[in-house]
Amino acid sequence: MPYLHQYDYIFAIAILFAALDAFNIGANDVANSFATSVSSRSLTLRQACLAAALMEFLGAVLVGAKVAGTIKNGIISLSAFQGNAGVEMLGFTCALVASATWLMIATRNSWPVSTTYSIVSALAGVGVAIQGKDAVQWGWNNAKGIGAIFAGFIIAPGISAGFAAVVYLITKYAVLERKNSIRAGMMIAPVYFFTVAAVLTMSIVYKGAPSLKLDKLSKTTIALAIVLTGLVVAILSILFWLPYVHAKVVKKDYTIRWYHFFYGPLLWKRPAPTESLEHAHQHVPDYRVLGRDDEKRTYEGETGAHPSNLPIDGHQEDGSPTGGRTKNLDPERDLESSPTRPHKPVPLEEVEVNPKTQIEGLWILPRNLWVILRYKIPKILLHGSSVDVHAMQAGNGSKQANRIHEMHERASQYPNETEHMYSFLQVLTACTNSFAHGSNDVANAVGPFAAVYYVWSHGQVTPKDTPTPTWILAFGGAMIVIGLATYGYNIMAVLGNKLTMHSPSRGFSMEFGAAITVLLASQYGIPVSTTMCITGATMGVGVLSSGFKGVNWRALGWIFLGWVLTVPVAGVAAGCLMGIILNAPHF
């Protein structure tokens, strides 16, 4: 193949900044997807990183090609390059440099911005620098132009808020507000499993792995595949999930372990522990954001009673509501076993230092090299997955912490047993969301790079439709995962419980609403912003569950400002860089 080796340096710069762009997409955008799961304590930060590693990579490799085609072929008119392959390489490289630099600045300063808008604005800036405003597809352009993409500025948050609100309303009145919420949750759960599995199947079939050509199947075959996959997952949930949850939630079997899940129907006959629950035993995790002292103050201030004196399901003995904001608390749960949530991390000077991990003398000494390899490097690599995100979300200053605390007090809290059931569903929706993100947003980094690679390897301007090589999709997916695992906590700290109170039931509704929106947009080849989708879903559920004062509108305002600034900053930076290089004096 006629490689353009005279432009090897441009290809090298492109691959470096494509990697940086994908890294920041992982640190900025994937953190948005998993902030709800981590904030509601359905997943630990490390578990979220492992789940994202699998789902982001699969989404990028299997179904990321169609959207990548929109990014590299649908923004700038190919005629603008006038057949000059080197100028096309330079243009897409400048777009990657501007986008990656802006995302790095935003991520470093904890600004959740739209990675989609960043690369699209950069490409538009490059187009203007090459041939003026006529070089850019400003209109709809069959859902591939600037107009279609920026329509998502309003459409994406609005649709996500609507989907998430509907899911939460169904959950609230079908399960959470019911007198026997545990029984209601177990009955409706297979329906949720069916729905989530069907949505994920649609994302694979309709967008299709290009090599498998699943989207070329007949409509009848596609419909059967979607329905049958959903039914299989629902049946598996009945056979394995229901017995496991029944043993853990209803029987309060604190001895059960995760691998008992595979026992399936045998768990129905598993005897419950004979000894009573003590402080050391906890049959389900504690998902409440407010701690012991907070709950006591909430009850004594609003109902004049302590939770331990109230009957189950938040009702008095005559069946009337308690009137408090905390709903359906189980009095058998001793509040003394739930310590107050920390509001700030432990100071570094209070942490004990292990002398075995300290470097003494020259670092090149054998002992110090062993310390670096054994302790220092693993600590650096695992730092991003071991940060206490909940402490960071509690607020840095006293005023901020008080504002967040008052916001959380407006939200209803439900029994940990009921919330625990939704933690399983939230993990499933988080993985669906992550799969959707990998299929949609990997294009932001690999789309322009795929164009650079094609020009460099073929020696000609890219034609209208060119396939994106699988290795480029895998490369982008891997960098996205690394970005989340090492630096995603920085964005998670400003999301989650800082926006509104999170719990597994709320987080499930948010993630599922955002996932549906992203998958629908990706099917039609429109690169919507996952940041806007999850933010809209969070806002919709927050208003429904806590009222308008239960949402941190100030934080949402700063996030919205970041979206707006992304457009001129990335566009002007890429355009100026392209214009300076093209018109620079030379010998």
- What per-residue confidence (pLDDT) applies to 337? 38
* Cα–Cα dist 484/54, whole Å: 12
Residue 578, domain member (yes or no): yes
Q: Which domain holds residue 373?
A: 354-387
Nearest to 433 by CA among 56, 25, 53, 38: 56
Distance from the Cα of residue 149 to its chain's centroid: 20
Span 554-566, pLDDT tens digits: 888 888 888 888 8
Shared domain check, 420 and 379: no
Phi-psi map region of 114: left, alpha, beta (phi>0 left; psi -120 to 50 alpha)? beta
- What per-residue confidence (pLDDT) applies to 102? 94
- What per-residue confidence (pLDDT) applies to 11? 92
Final residue of a structural domain among 308, 340, 372:
340
Shared domain check, 309 and 255: no
Shared domain check, 254 and 203: yes
Query: Number of structural domains, the chain?
Result: 4
Shared domain check, 167 and 188: no
Span 2-14, pLDDT tens digits: 777 888 999 999 9
Span 238-248, pLDDT tens digits: 999 999 999 98
Residue 447, domain member (yes or no): yes
Shared domain check, 485 and 505: yes
- With a cut of 70, say whether residue 272 has pLDDT above it: yes
Shared domain check, 302 and 259: no
Final residue of a structural domain among 282, 309, 340:
340
Residue 406, domain member (yes or no): no
Residue 196, domain member (yes or no): yes
Shared domain check, 440 and 540: yes
Residue 473, domain member (yes or no): yes
Choice between 204 and 172, residue whose per-residue pLDDT is larger:
172
Shared domain check, 248 and 220: yes
Average pLDDT, integer, range 51-64: 79
3-state secondary structure 335-350: HHHCCCCCCCCCCHHH
Shared domain check, 502 and 558: yes
Residue 111, domain member (yes or no): yes
Shared domain check, 459 and 498: yes
Shared domain check, 462 and 543: yes
Strand blocks (E) in 272-343: none
- With a cut of 90, say whether residue 569 has pLDDT above it: yes
Final residue of a structural domain among 340, 374, 397:
340
- What per-residue confidence (pLDDT) applies to 190? 92
Choice between 258 and 172, residue whose per-residue pLDDT is larger:
172
- What per-residue confidence (pLDDT) applies to 194? 93
Span 125-156, pLDDT tens digits: 998 898 887 777 777 666 666 777 677 777 88
Shared domain check, 304 and 196: no
Report yes or no: 21 and 99 within 8 Å, Cβ to Cβ.
Answer: yes
- What per-residue confidence (pLDDT) applies to 233? 93
Residue 404, domain member (yes or no): no
- What per-residue confidence (pLDDT) applies to 216? 73
Average the pLDDT over each of 85-89, 300-304, 568-572 and give the range with the smallest value: 300-304
Q: Name the average pLDDT for the chain.
A: 77
Residue 276, domain member (yes or no): no
Span 364-394, pLDDT tens digits: 778 778 888 877 777 777 777 777 777 777 7
The pTM of this model reads 0.77
